[in-house]
Amino acid sequence: MSTFAAVDVITAKRDRGELSAEQIDWVIDAYTKGDVAEEQMSALLMAILLNGMSGPEIASWTTAMLNSGIRLDLSGVGRPTVDKHSTGGVGDKISLPLAPLVAACGAAVPQLSGRGLGHTGGTLDKMESIDGWRAMLSPAEMIAQLTSVGAVICAASADLAPADRKLYALRDVTGTVESIPMIAASIMSKKIAEGTDALVLDVKVGSGAFMKRADHAAELARTMVELGAREGVRTTALLTDMATPLGVAVGNAVEVAESVEVLAGGGPADVVELTIALAREMVALAGLDSDPAEVLRSGRAMDSWRRMVAAQGGDPDAALPTPKHREVVVAEASGVVSRLDALSVGVAAWRLGAGRARREHAVQQAAGILCLAKPGDTVTVGQPLFELHTDTPERFSLALADLADAVTIAAPGTVVDPFPLVMDVIRAD
């Protein structure tokens, strides 16, 4: 590999130049090995945030991060492989019912997931509410479970795109998280490394999402779809609404309980709708002729869930954690709920202990919020709007402050036209 001077790479991007594939390969490799200093990579990341990257640059950056580690070989699992990635939201428990549902349709779903940070919940944190369940699997264990069960939800191995792990931590402390090229490369390097044949992206839009604007979300989605196509991974992206929390439950154990309701044939309509919409895209990319809605009704997805949980040491029949303290927030006026702000609810759940401010912090499995009225619902004075859960009651005051302006109640009889849950679908050309 050619050797470059870090300062030359930094100044090239500072001056709005286009980095060559050789420069990108070198700087990613050198930074991963510790030969490029943190302050130098920080300067380069800020230059990228301010000046952007071309399509070829983003592709080269993604490939360089992908090549910093191993790439799993899932060719022996005996089923077509397809995964889903969400950019994160409030009440976004969709991976939990989705993975076993798509497995019941005949695919293998290698759902490598992460932990929550800030107001967006982490899939692994939710799953760890289940007694005995373990997140850490070796690649061999993961492949064996995909072969026997068809679905796995687990932590990504440290050997997958290790450059991204190091860069992600640096972006978090240098104010460079918002770079669309960096977000796209971060997500896609990890997803391509896991070896799946196909991928469906759930790109959230709205107050509770990372992308607040639809045009920014669409740009991110298109970039990721193109990156997948370049690497031979069939990729589709859905832009979905995150102005309002998904479902009723926001937290950890409460979201597991709601996911099980969906698998049992119930659950909130929006959670069911998005689960089926994503499943249909995944099944189509996998080349399978199966109707996810019918499979969900049949109970086969619940069977897959129970096998998946048990395979990772969990007890699917165990009682989920319950909070030591609860508090109810009631409506101060009668009328129609016209707005329920996802960000406010997400932050309040974080305050209660459902999330973490730093990666090393623990979460409370029983903490969370039940959203008891959603946009379009009619409420009366004194009717419960939220039920707050925590093991540490001193957290209630801050959470209540976050929820003070979370709900708008319009005059009785007001007609609320909700945003469509699936706003757009972006496919490779």
Active-site amino acid positions: 85, 164, 171, 186, 190
CB count within 10 Å of CB 349 equals 33
**Tokens coding 369:** 């919020």
383-420 burial code (b ≥16 CB/10 A, e <16): eebbbbbbbeeebbeebbebbeebbebeeeeeeeeeee
> Torsions phi, psi of 265, nearest 5?
100, 5
Long-range contacts of 272-277 (CB under 8 A, 24+ apart): 272/296, 273/421, 274/94, 274/202, 274/240, 274/246, 274/421, 274/422, 275/94, 275/97, 275/98, 275/101, 277/238, 277/421, 277/422
Cα separation, 96 vs 252, in Å, equals 11
Q: Which residues pair with 61 in a beta bridge?
A: none
CA 333 to chain centre: 35
Write the CB contacts of 151 (distance below 8 Å, at least 6 apart in sequence).
99, 100, 102, 103, 108, 109, 111, 145, 304, 308
CB count within 10 Å of CB 362 equals 8
Cα separation, 99 vs 105, in Å, equals 10
Residue keyed to tokens 């093991």 = 391
Q: For residue 304, give the nearest of 153, 93, 150 by alpha carbon.
A: 150
